[in-house]
Structure 1
């Protein structure tokens, strides 16, 4: 049997004091009244009120039903189960787990098809899990690393930190304030989803402590820049200017926490000069 472990087994009580607090948090976050939640879950409003006051204890099936109605991330459904005294329902396997072999092959195929342009796979905290050769090469170029330097894909390299650190890729990111504000939005959303005391909250605090990052969300977006229909990522280094945009893809119908949280970011050239630069190196 392959090694796997339930998600949320450590530190679950750091997020919420009990199930009642977790349910109230998620109902409020989704903007549901007790009446609306009752109607969509077919659970009586009285029972929901009792659950939120702690007067009633939920069954495991009821927690899973509420998790589906409120579209709660799988990781946080496990947290709610633990808070109510149940074992987690969703496993959290490593991407190297043989049981995720089909997922790994699909991701490898997607990354290979993206060449000669960069593509990478990150988890919900933007820790690097996979990268194709163009992505690894672009990272070495931006981080001033040797051509044969290894790019860690074990989760130890955080893409957001690499991009926002003034000693990292940010030195060559011409419009770093605009891009940084967009990147910050992703982790802020994760922190809101996870609640207080979570890894996402800790990462957000680390990013906001970097010079210049805390004020990024206060600036208005420049919607007139080149009249492009997307936010470009403009890199300038060694006399080269690359204009890129990205897409984010997720895997559908996941029943595993790791699979649910994976993000595939693909980079595309926004002009012919940028496309030619990548083709010359990785075609």
Structure 2
């Protein structure tokens, strides 16, 4: 089995997230992460600075409502708000449903509608770790074409394919990216942001470490040179079989979610950056 095929069929990192051992360290982490002083957080949350100091030192223990209030004030993602609650001995406040849950049927219908609307151009849905959960036919066709897979091959929709791992691996999609250095740097920044949000011991931290040591990868802190770009976006310059495609992508998230799974979904839509690329996709996937 080739590595490229293994990347399609392989599972995720499997790392378990430990996050923080106590609420005090979680609160200190998030306040520092947001660059907010205790005085500013006191003003934003309506909690006295003295009480915040006691919470961060462990001299005082928070109530469940106070944790949620501070999580909102610090704009902590839902998964990490649950982690803060667990660290303080409380049950999670936000559910994490499977996409197959009947209560998420309307969300699935909305995503499927957006995927169909994007055709003949590719679009896919990933979770916060960029595990593939949904895609339209042009996205599947593009992946199979780039990886040399047969048309009848099945691409899993269960999250077992990690898009970043598939794209950044030297014998995965990366070998077809003419500007792979810039794409790799941008991709590492995406997962680095998730790792910083999750804190130490998380799945995102493990994935970042795994991707960072792939051959030829820039450091996770490397920033692309924006001054050299003539376009207002990072193009995806793809080449295979004498065919050159120029694409750019947009990322869509679902607003006002109250479920961890929904909060973490991202819809990545690919758009042609030139008429030739648009014509290629219309001819191949226009039906």
From 226, 243, 247, the equivalent of 2:246 is 243
**4+ residue stretches of structure 1 with deviation over 2 A?**
214-220, 222-225
**Deviation of residue 17 (structure 1)?**
1.8
Show structure 2 runs of 5+ residues with no match. Answer: 1-14
The higher-RCO structure (CA 8 Å, 6+ apart) is 2
| Aligned-partner Cα distance in 1 for 2:113–2:232 | 28
In structure 2, what is the equivalent of residue 23 of structure 1? 27
Show structure 1 runs of 5+ residues with no match. Answer: 1-9
Deviation sequence 1:78-105 (CA, Å, 0-9, x none): 0000000000000100111111000000
**Deviation of residue 216 (structure 1)?**
6.8
In structure 1, what is the equivalent of residue 233 of structure 2? 230
**Deviation of residue 221 (structure 1)?**
1.6
| 1:273 counterpart = 2:280 | no
Deviation sequence 1:198-254 (CA, Å, 0-9, x none): 0000000110121011447546526434x2221110000001000000000000000
**Deviation of residue 118 (structure 1)?**
0.2
| Aligned-partner Cα distance in 2 for 1:64–1:81 | 8
Deviation sequence 1:145-178 (CA, Å, 0-9, x none): 1111111110100000111000100110110001
Map 1:9-20 → 2, pairs under 5 A: 14-20=18-24
**Deviation of residue 192 (structure 1)?**
0.3
| 1:76 counterpart = 2:114 | no
Q: TM-score, normalised by structure 2?
A: 0.92
| Aligned-partner Cα distance in 2 for 1:220–1:124 | 22
Map 1:186-197 → 2, pairs under 5 A: 186-197=190-201
| 1:106 counterpart = 2:72 | no
In structure 2, what is the equivalent of residue 55 of structure 1? 59
Alpha-carbon contact 1:90-1:256 (below 8 Å) kept: yes
The change in CA–CA distance for 1:120 and 1:73 in structure 2 (over 3 A counts) is same
SS class of match (1:91): coil
In structure 1, what is the equivalent of residue 209 of structure 2? 205
The change in CA–CA distance for 1:198 and 1:46 in structure 2 (over 3 A counts) is same
Q: TM-score, normalised by structure 1?
A: 0.93
SS class of match (1:189): helix
The change in CA–CA distance for 1:212 and 1:111 in structure 2 (over 3 A counts) is same
| Aligned-partner Cα distance in 1 for 2:104–2:233 | 34
| 1:45 counterpart = 2:42 | no
| Aligned-partner Cα distance in 2 for 1:141–1:216 | 29
| Aligned-partner Cα distance in 2 for 1:58–1:26 | 15
In structure 1, what is the equivalent of residue 139 of structure 2? 135
| Aligned-partner Cα distance in 1 for 2:213–2:98 | 30
In structure 1, what is the equivalent of residue 3 of structure 2? none
Alpha-carbon contact 1:180-1:216 (below 8 Å) kept: no
Deviation sequence 1:120-150 (CA, Å, 0-9, x none): 0000000001000000000111111111111
Count of residue correspondences: 272
